[in-house]
């Protein structure tokens, strides 16, 4: 597929390179020529010159000159981005015009929910990522690209980077509830959509709506924060064509390193001795068999990772966008193709099929705006996406778990007779898993569409307009696959005879494809409203009123998810100094009882632009200073729990086999006890912020917030007797407070030949459970109340038992009989028994601190960009095969050399005595396995070189830039000694690794 | 702004709001919710509610991560070192960590029986969703199941609340915790009630449901428990007498559909055997084979019978191995009670047409792999050798809760305690034992045993006959023998192949030390419940 795409892109590239703007059409009339200058008298190129109400247009050349044929009485319209458009009536006057364009009002427009506000009138806490910077990251998954770039956002990978399955978890201002649904509401072009598989080139802006003023428009869906993404649109001006081709490779950021057979066997025997178990009689457990030239089938020393993983796998991306338009029609068109390969080796040893994982994605988008009349504007946004994923039938989790478990001497990959090797204990062989379990193709076809119109209603009321939009998304997904099973064979020698014991079954690849997860989903959103703005110089008023409804249906789920409501807001500004806003939503969700579905969510906010006061006017350093504040109520109606918790629930099913025919009979059973009055979680959010601009020095912004989440769903499980015999009703009875701040500082410096910019951001959020229906009378440390909602609980390890006397004098550890070298825990409640009641909070899963540092340097044609990101205040538990050596028959890393050993390592051991048994004491969740999950990563680094402009103008090319970039280049953390990734410590051990990407490409603009 | 404009404006605003603004938009497009009334007025769902309750019967094949309860007493050792069942053997059970925690599940089952009994008199009766002729039988089943769930609770926890109505969040705290003896009376009452209503036997379509004999078997068992030393500290003989009478009533139910199988092994592979008085549903599965086939046969080899159990099997001459001079300790697996060959996979036993090798260095030799046998034995009982794990074939596998053989043992034991080793005691045991011996006379106990000699014989008889059926674990407790027996190490057999003459030598060895603390005669009541204040913790667990 990709080669075709390359060819296609190439042809398109050629075709577009020769494409020029349409020449002025030959129509009757006179020819007007002229020149367009800016206020400084410099000619302005690429100005759109058009005749109003006619499809005639041209553009100024490099010297600002133009020539257009116009019939008398028409009006010429001059426009270019960044300048205020000018209209010139041709009733009279000369045929030669000199037009002066003034730079447009520099006031930045900010995307707010369902609308825009100018930067100065904005009273919300919103942080954003500029579109261009996202294009500099080579990862296909956008959720991985946003990390570190702005405030109020926590982005942590939840899994490794298996191609196509590499989403990050996203939180806005940490979490504010102890329930499972903590994700922000994510919107793309005002419709609830996931942006992760969009191409960065499609994105115009990415905003994080943080405080109640910003999120209140979403009412019952706003409490977890909102991410508002807008795609690019066309503009009036000469077409911009942008082509990017890039290719690179991904390599695991780190992989655990395991010891070879001789060391493994030595340590294994040591562990057996610790366990009081006899040493195996089998000579496979004699380390000396691995020193020299032992029979490799009898005494294997297999590097499982090396044998089955490539050092790197390729990826490539091709993108083309076309953007421009006239005063009447403006367009943005995009197409892109992305592909990523997996890192398994030996995916092609089975001649019947190849199982090399592959992710391919095709993105297509066309956003068109049409001015139908002077007052009616229509837009049609259509996008399509194809996502194909090819994987072996054995999951990445199972393949990596096997790789990380298999000891080097467990078996060879293939036996002497070339059959696939295995043993009674190790019945999975990666060779079989990769090449002989079949494959699966997952297909997703996604169509996204927004169609809408805005009608100005100035004839009714100046400044009034109405808008209506319908969004329709459809997803079709299914998997096709073929499966196969394989047997493994264990060589068994007794005396002179050799036989093979067989485990599992060899089957042929299934003849027919099997279809899984066959389904579809759709989302239908309707959005309509009125907006009004009035500016009388002294005071200004902006107001919106919106109606929204949406229905999401996915087959497999029985019933649609629906949302409905109205929202509105009015912003009043006085003398450009004082702004105040009232916003509200009245909306509901299908999850609650009729009559109890809708909530009213108000928010007030205000801003004071101190710099517009007389005492700061004309100040040489402070060019802008604003103080903001907001307070309001938002809700979380998505509970992540059973749906419709208000209604009495009985279920069919759960029958039983009666009768000599063994038929299953009907069954029915009662579900959770209902609570007819159950409602959503409510959050009272307060925010105070300051925005400061010091001319040519820095921009600075800081926000403090205090979110008080009430009505959190709980059950009285801790209080109501279990003899009731049924799941207890959900109640609105929990409270969490979440506090923190965010700050961002940036600095730009641009000289003629060189310049740089730097931006630093920090976000802090810390939550605490205030109440959640716990019994009274427990010691303080046992309560979840007062602790973080994402706390990790475990025992406090205080060393290792020295000897039998130490054991006798210590509290009884109830998990398993202990011996010297086992982990000793602290008796928190002094009852002389160590059990689960001695668990304390040993860390937090979600970081309190998020940092980002972004920089850019340019010198002549060269440019450099970087993003550093980091987190603080996160704990990870290391519980996987590479740390828990010898557990579950797994192998050994060099961590085992730190193990406690009598008379050898008693004082400086950092690891409990080795054991082959599944020790319930040592492998309890405890501080022994907790490590700081903090890290600082060089997330993104790009170096580019743009060819000098003078070479390019001759061939009608605006810009050619060559670049080299990386993602996840380096990580500074405290678990690198284990060769694990601090972001996802299980990656590469029980799942696909975290990848590092090196990428190079070319970008051409016309 | 003139009036016309304002009217236009307002109507425009309103029209956008009423576009689809009625709340119906948030209604479900189809109401698929089933309510209590719908369920109990439906001819399929109403009886289905009762069917579903049977799912709460406990099954012993896989109590926790593949382990049987037998591995928590002296019957076996679980070869997976991480198995939770181990904490029964090392004294680590506590009120918040108990792998056999069934509190919520049993009270869940009890709630279902109470809902059903309530609806039987209301919705079901009013709508006739269950035909009148079936209602008495179903009432009997519900009463029986309620008794069964309470019994599972009381044998573990002793003093507990007895629940005979549907509880609400508000009144759940008002149910009193009552004594063991009070519980026994309530359970016996429920058994008696169910006995009245239950069927004698079920037609083909209803095979597997509780019958009168199931209720009587439960009554016999709970009365035996109530008469045993743990619960009868004063050795009140009338309690033993009551237990003997209940067992006798059950024995007298013997007939065409109820009785002993002709061979011991048939009991466990005959669906709806006449010996089985109640079993869980016969699901098609191979999970038990996966867990218990020795490793080289594709299984995990989890349940390893102990030498302690192996030694309890008599010789084929009907005598204990310690007393039988014909017993040859260098060929320990020859000439044993027939049941031995149905229960234990030993070194040299033929399984799936080849010999099991548990000797050191054998294919499934002692400690040869992480879950290879730890005792020198694998489990044969319940394991179906016809299962092919490579191909994934399955078999029907009901877990037997009551079988008729128990009646003989209950009767003999209770009568021996109440009246001494009278002839009926000998006869009852003989009836049970004779199917295991080619020469049936060898099945008879020698005459002239004292009461305590008879007691010891009967205890061993139970150990062997009911091995792995979740009796031993409770029997040792009710006899108050656990402190003695469960504090002894679990034993195994180390077998070495003498290369010279391919004979084996046998050596007993200690598999592990075991601990039984006297507080463990009763389980701790779950801590989460004790904290709520409506139940008191059992002694020793506070």
Which residue ranges form the domains of chain B, and what is each CATH number? 1-63+100-176 (no CATH), 199-282+398-467 (1.25.40.900), 283-397+489-542 (no CATH)
Residue B13 has, within 13 A of its CA and on its CB side, a CA count of 17
Percent of residues, chain B, with pLDDT higher than 70: 96
- Report the gap between the CA of B438 and the closest CA in chain A (Å): 32
pLDDT over threshold 50, residue A20: no
**Which residue among B5, B19, B391 places its CB closest to the CB of A528?**
B19
- Report the gap between the CA of B208 and the closest CA in chain A (Å): 5
Handedness of CA B4, B10, B14, B16 (dihedral sign): positive
| Cα distance between residue A848 and residue A932, in whole Å | 13
In chain B, helix, strand, coil percent, each to 5? Answer: 45, 10, 45
Tell me which residue has tokens 């014909």: B326
Predicted local confidence at residue A328, as pLDDT: 86
Whether B112 contacts B146, CB under 8 Å: no
**Which residue among B16, B51, B396 places its CB closest to the CB of A655?**
B51
In whole angstroms, how far apart are CA A734 and each of A448, A683, A784, B511?
A: 38, 11, 11, 51
Tell me which residue has tokens 């506000």: A117
Optimal mutation site among A543, A721, A879, interface B, most CBs of chain B within 10 A? A721
Token pair listed for A876: 């990870």
Banded pLDDT at B427 (limits 50, 70, 90): very high
Contact B19 A547 (CB under 8 A): yes
In chain A, helix, strand, coil percent, each to 5? Answer: 10, 50, 40
Between β-strands A226-231 and A185-188, what pairing exists: parallel, antiparallel or unpaired? parallel
Banded pLDDT at A26 (limits 50, 70, 90): very low
| Cα distance between residue A902 and residue A911, in whole Å | 13
| Cα distance between residue B369 and residue B347, in whole Å | 16
**Which residue among B19, B23, B86 places its CB closest to the CB of A597?**
B23
| Cα distance between residue A890 and residue B373, in whole Å | 19
| Cα distance between residue B71 and residue B76, in whole Å | 5
Q: Which DSSP category does B220 fall into?
A: H
Pick the residue from chain A with its C-alpha nearest to B160. A723
pLDDT over threshold 80, residue A292: no
pLDDT over threshold 80, residue A833: yes
Beta bridge partners of A244: A319, A1003
Between β-strands A812-813 and A833-834, what pairing exists: parallel, antiparallel or unpaired? parallel
Pick the residue from chain A with its C-alpha nearest to B166. A724
- Determine the average pLDDT of the residues in B498-527: 92
Contact A666 B13 (CB under 8 A): no
pLDDT over threshold 70, residue A267: yes
pLDDT over threshold 70, residue A69: yes
- Determine the average pLDDT of the residues in A467-481: 93
Among A853, A861, A858, which residue's Cα sits nearest to residue A749? A858
| Cα distance between residue B465 and residue B264, in whole Å | 9
Predicted local confidence at residue A14, as pLDDT: 46
pLDDT 10s digits, B324-363: 999 998 999 999 999 999 999 999 999 999 999 999 988 8
| Cα distance between residue A828 and residue A783, in whole Å | 13
Among B360, B186, B216, which residue's Cα sits nearest to residue B278? B216
pLDDT over threshold 60, residue A2: no
Residue length of chain A: 1006
Contact B81 A654 (CB under 8 A): no
pLDDT 10s digits, A616-648: 887 888 989 999 999 999 999 988 788 889 999
Residue A871's φ and ψ, nearest 5 degrees, are: -135, 155
| Cα distance between residue B419 and residue B396, in whole Å | 42
Residue length of chain B: 542
> Could you tell me how many CB contacts below 8 A there are between chain A and chain B?
268
| Residues in chain A closer than 8 A to B85 (CB atoms) | none
Whole-number average pLDDT of chain A: 90
Q: How far is it between the farthest Cα atoms of chain A?
A: 114
Q: Which residues contact A944 (CB under 8 A, 6 or more apart)?
A: A862, A863, A864, A865, A961, A962, A963, A964
Phi-psi region of A526 (alpha: psi -120 to 50; beta: other; left: phi over 0): beta
Banded pLDDT at A1 (limits 50, 70, 90): very low
Contact A492 B363 (CB under 8 A): yes
| Cα distance between residue B405 and residue B268, in whole Å | 13
Contact B34 A721 (CB under 8 A): no
pLDDT 10s digits, A199-225: 999 999 999 999 999 999 999 999 999
Whether A654 contacts A600, CB under 8 Å: no
Residue A218 has, within 13 A of its CA and on its CB side, a CA count of 31
pLDDT over threshold 90, residue A470: yes
Banded pLDDT at B16 (limits 50, 70, 90): low
| Residues in chain B closer than 8 A to A588 (CB atoms) | 23, 26
| Cα distance between residue B377 and residue B363, in whole Å | 13
pLDDT over threshold 60, residue B3: no
Optimal mutation site among A645, A725, A925, interface B, most CBs of chain B within 10 A? A725
Contact A559 B28 (CB under 8 A): yes
Predicted local confidence at residue A447, as pLDDT: 95
| Cα distance between residue A1005 and residue A923, in whole Å | 58
End-to-end CA distance of chain B: 81
Percent of residues, chain B, with pLDDT higher than 90: 81
pLDDT 10s digits, A544-597: 999 999 999 988 777 889 999 999 999 999 988 999 999 999 999 889 998 889
Contact B49 A667 (CB under 8 A): yes
Predicted local confidence at residue B10, as pLDDT: 58
Token pair listed for A599: 């909530």
| Residues in chain B closer than 8 A to A835 (CB atoms) | 94, 96-97
Residue A366's φ and ψ, nearest 5 degrees, are: -140, 110
Banded pLDDT at B19 (limits 50, 70, 90): very low
Whether A603 contacts A223, CB under 8 Å: no
Percent of residues, chain A, with pLDDT higher than 90: 67
Whether B82 contacts B95, CB under 8 Å: no
- The interface pTM score, or ipTM, of the predicted complex is 0.91
HEC secondary structure over B331-379: CCCCCECHHHHHHEECCCCEECCEECCCCCCCCCCCCCCCCCCCCCCEE
| Cα distance between residue B269 and residue B292, in whole Å | 16
Contact A589 B21 (CB under 8 A): no
Contact B30 A559 (CB under 8 A): yes
Q: Helix or strand or coil: residue A330? A: strand
The 10 Å CB-count burial string (b at 16+, else e) for A434-467 is bbbbbbbebebebebebebbbbbbeebbeebbbb
- Report the gap between the CA of B123 and the closest CA in chain A (Å): 15
């Amino acid at each position: 597929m990709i080669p075709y795409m390359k060819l296609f892109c190439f042809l398109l590239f050629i075709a577009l390179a020769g494409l020029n703007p349409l020449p002025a059409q030959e129509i009757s009339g006179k020819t007007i020529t002229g020149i367009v200058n800016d206020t400084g008298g410099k000619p302005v190129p690429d100005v759109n010159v058009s005749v109003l109400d006619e499809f005639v247009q041209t553009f100024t050349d490099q010297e600002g000159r133009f020539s257009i044929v116009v019939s008398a009485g028409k009006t010429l319209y001059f426009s270019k981005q960044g300048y205020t458009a000018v209209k010139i009536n041709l009733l009279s006057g000369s045929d030669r015009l000199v037009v002066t364009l003034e730079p447009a009002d520099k006031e930045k427009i900010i995307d707010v929910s369902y609308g825009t506000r100018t930067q100065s009138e904005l009273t919300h806490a919103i942080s954003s990522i500029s579109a261009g910077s996202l294009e500099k990251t080579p990862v296909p998954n956008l959720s991985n690209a946003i990390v570190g770039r702005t405030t109020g956002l926590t982005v942590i990978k939840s899994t490794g980077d298996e191609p196509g399955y590499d989403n990050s978890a996203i939180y806005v201002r940490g979490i504010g509830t102890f329930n499972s649904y903590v994700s922000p509401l994510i919107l793309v072009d005002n419709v609830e959509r996931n942006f992760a598989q969009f191409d960065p080139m499609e994105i115009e802006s990415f905003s994080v709506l943080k405080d109640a003023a910003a999120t209140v428009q979403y009412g019952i869906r706003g409490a977890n924060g909102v991410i508002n993404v807008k795609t690019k649109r066309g503009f009036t001006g000469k077409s911009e064509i942008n082509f990017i081709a890039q290719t690179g490779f991904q390599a695991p950021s780190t992989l655990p390193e395991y010891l070879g057979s001789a060391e493994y066997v030595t340590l294994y025997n040591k562990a057996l001795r610790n366990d009081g178990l006899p040493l195996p009689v089998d000579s496979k457990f004699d380390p000396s068999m691995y020193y020299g030239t032992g029979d490799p089938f009898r005494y294997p020393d297999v590097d499982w990772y090396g044998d089955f993983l490539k050092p790197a796998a390729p990826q490539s991306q091709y993108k083309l966008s076309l953007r421009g338009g006239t005063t009447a029609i403006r367009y943005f068109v995009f197409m892109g193709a992305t592909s990523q390969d997996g890192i398994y080796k030996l995916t092609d040893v089975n001649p019947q099929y190849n199982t090399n994982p592959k992710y391919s994605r095709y993105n297509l988008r066309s956003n068109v705006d049409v001015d139908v009349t002077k007052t009616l504007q229509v837009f049609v946004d259509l996008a399509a996406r194809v996502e194909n994923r090819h994987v072996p039938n054995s999951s990445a989790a199972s393949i990596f778990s096997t790789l990380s478990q298999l000891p080097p001497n467990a078996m060879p990959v293939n036996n002497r007779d070339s059959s696939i090797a295995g043993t009674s204990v190790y019945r999975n062989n990666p060779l079989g898993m990769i090449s002989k379990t079949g494959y699966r193709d997952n297909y997703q076809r996604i169509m996204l569409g927004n169609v809408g119109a805005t009608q100005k209603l100035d004839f009714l009321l100046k400044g009034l307009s109405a808008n209506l939009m319908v969004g329709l998304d459809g997803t079709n997904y299914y998997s096709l696959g073929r499966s196969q099973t394989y047997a493994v064979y264990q060589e068994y020698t007794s005396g002179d005879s050799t036989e093979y014991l067989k485990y599992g079954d060899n089957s042929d690849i299934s003849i027919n494809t099997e279809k899984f997860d066959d389904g579809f989903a759709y989302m239908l959103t309707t959005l309509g409203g009125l907006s009004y703005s009035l500016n009388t110089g002294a005071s200004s008023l902006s107001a919106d009123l919106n109606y929204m409804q949406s229905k999401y249906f996915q087959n497999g789920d029985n019933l649609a998810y629906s949302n409905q409501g109205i929202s509105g807001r009015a912003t009043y500004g006085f003398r450009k100094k004082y702004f105040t806003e009232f916003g509200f939503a009245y909306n509901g969700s299908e999850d609650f009882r009729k009559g109890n579905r809708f909530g009213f969510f108000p928010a007030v906010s205000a801003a004071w632009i101190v710099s517009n006061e007389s005492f700061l006017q004309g100040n040489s350093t402070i060019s802008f200073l604003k103080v903001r504040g907001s307070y309001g109520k938002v809700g979380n109606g998505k509970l992540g729990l059973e749906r419709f918790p208000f209604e009495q629930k009985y279920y069919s099913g759960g029958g039983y086999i009666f009768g000599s025919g063994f038929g299953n009979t009907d069954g029915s059973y009662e579900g959770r006890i209902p609570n007819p009055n159950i409602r959503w979680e409510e959050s009272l959010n307060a925010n105070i912020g300051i925005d400061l601009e010091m001319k040519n020095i820095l921009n600075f912004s800081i926000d403090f917030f205090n979110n008080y989440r009430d009505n959190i769903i709980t059950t009285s499980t801790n209080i109501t007797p279990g003899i009731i015999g049924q799941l207890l009703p959900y109640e609105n009875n929990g409270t969490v407070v979440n506090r923190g701040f965010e700050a961002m500082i940036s600095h730009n410096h641009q000289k003629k030949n060189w310049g740089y910019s730097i931006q630093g951001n920090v976000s802090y959020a810390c939550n605490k459970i205030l109440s959640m229906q716990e019994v009274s009378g427990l010691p303080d440390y046992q309560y979840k109340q007062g602790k973080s909602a994402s706390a990790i609980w475990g025992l406090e390890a205080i060393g290792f038992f020295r000897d039998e006397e130490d054991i006798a004098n210590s509290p009884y550890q109830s998990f398993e009989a202990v011996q010297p070298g086992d982990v000793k825990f602290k008796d928190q409640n002094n009852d002389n028994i160590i059990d689960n009641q001695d668990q304390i909070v040993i860390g937090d899963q979600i970081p309190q601190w998020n940092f980002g540092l972004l920089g850019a340097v340019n010198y002549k044609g060269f440019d450099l960009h970087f993003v550093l990101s980091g987190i603080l205040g996160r704990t990870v538990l290391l519980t996987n095969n590479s740390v828990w050596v010898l557990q579950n028959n797994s192998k050994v890393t060099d961590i085992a050399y730190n193990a406690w050993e009598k008379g050898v390592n008693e004082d400086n051991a950092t690891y409990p005595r080795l054991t082959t048994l599944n020790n319930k004491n040592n492998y309890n969740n405890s501080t022994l396995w907790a490590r700081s999950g903090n890290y600082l990563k060089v997330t993104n680094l790009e170096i580019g070189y743009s060819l000098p402009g003078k070479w390019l103008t001759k061939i009608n090319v605006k810009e050619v830039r060559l670049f080299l970039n990386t993602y996840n280049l380096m990580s500074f953390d405290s678990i690198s000694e284990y060769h694990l990734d601090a972001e996802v410590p299980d990656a590469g051990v029980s799942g696909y690794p975290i990848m590092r990407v090196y990428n190079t490409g070319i970008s051409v603009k016309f | 702004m003139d009036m016309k404009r304002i009217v236009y404006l307002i109507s425009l605003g309103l029209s956008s709001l009423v576009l689809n603004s009625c709340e119906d938009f948030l209604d479900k497009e189809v109401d698929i919710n089933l309510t209590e009334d719908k369920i109990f007025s439906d001819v399929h769902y109403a009886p289905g509610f009762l069917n579903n309750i049977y799912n709460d019967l406990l099954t012993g094949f896989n109590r926790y991560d593949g382990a049987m309860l037998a591995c928590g007493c002296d019957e076996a050792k679980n070869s997976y070192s991480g198995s939770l069942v181990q904490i029964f053997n090392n004294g680590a059970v506590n009120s918040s960590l108990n792998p056999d925690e069934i509190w919520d599940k049993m009270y869940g089952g009890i709630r279902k029986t109470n809902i059903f009994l309530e609806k039987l008199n209301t919705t079901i009766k009013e709508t006739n969703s269950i035909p009148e002729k079936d209602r008495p039988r179903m009432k009997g089943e519900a009463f029986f199941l309620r008794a069964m769930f309470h019994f599972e609770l009381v044998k573990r926890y002793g003093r507990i609340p007895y629940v005979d109505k549907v509880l609400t969040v508000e009144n759940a705290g008002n149910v009193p915790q009552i004594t063991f003896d009070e519980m026994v009376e309530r359970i016996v009452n429920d058994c008696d009630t169910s006995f009245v209503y239950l069927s004698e036997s079920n037609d083909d379509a209803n095979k597997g449901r509780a019958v009168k004999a199931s209720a009587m078997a439960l009554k016999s068992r709970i009365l035996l428990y109530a008469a045993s030393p743990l619960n009868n500290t004063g050795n009140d003989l009338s309690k033993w007498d009551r237990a003997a009478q209940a067992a006798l009533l059950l024995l007298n139910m013997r007939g065409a559909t109820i009785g002993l199988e002709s061979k011991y092994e048939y009991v466990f592979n005959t669906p709806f055997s006449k010996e089985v008085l109640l079993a869980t549903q016969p699901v098609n599965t191979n999970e038990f084979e996966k867990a218990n086939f020795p490793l080289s046969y594709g299984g995990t080899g989890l349940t390893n019978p102990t030498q302690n159990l192996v030694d309890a099997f008599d010789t084929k001459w009907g005598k204990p191995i310690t007393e039988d001079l014909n017993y040859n300790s260098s060929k320990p697996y020859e000439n044993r009670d027939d049941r031995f060959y149905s229960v234990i996979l030993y070194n040299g036993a033929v399984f799936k047409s080849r010999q099991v090798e548990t000797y050191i260095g054998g294919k499934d030799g002692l400690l040869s792999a992480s879950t290879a046998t730890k005792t020198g034995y694998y489990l044969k009982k319940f394991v179906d050798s016809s299962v092919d794990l490579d191909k994934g074939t399955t078999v029907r596998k009901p877990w037997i809760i009551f079988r008729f053989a128990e009646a003989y043992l209950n009767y003999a034991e209770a009568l021996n305690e109440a009246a001494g080793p009278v002839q009926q005691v000998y006869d009852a045991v003989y009836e049970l034992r004779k199917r295991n011996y080619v020469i049936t006379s060898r099945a008879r106990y020698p005459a002239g045993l004292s009461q305590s000699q008879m007691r010891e014989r009967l205890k061993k008889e139970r150990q062997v006959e009911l091995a792995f059926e979740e009796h031993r674990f409770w029997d040792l407790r009710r006899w108050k023998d656990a402190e003695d027996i469960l504090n002894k190490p679990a034993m195994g057999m180390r077998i070495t192949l003498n290369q010279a003459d391919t004979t084996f030598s046998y050596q007993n060895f200690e598999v592990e030390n075991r601990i039984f603390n006297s507080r463990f005669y009763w389980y701790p009541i779950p801590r989460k419940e004790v904290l709520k204040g409506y139940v008191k913790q059992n002694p020793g667990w506070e």
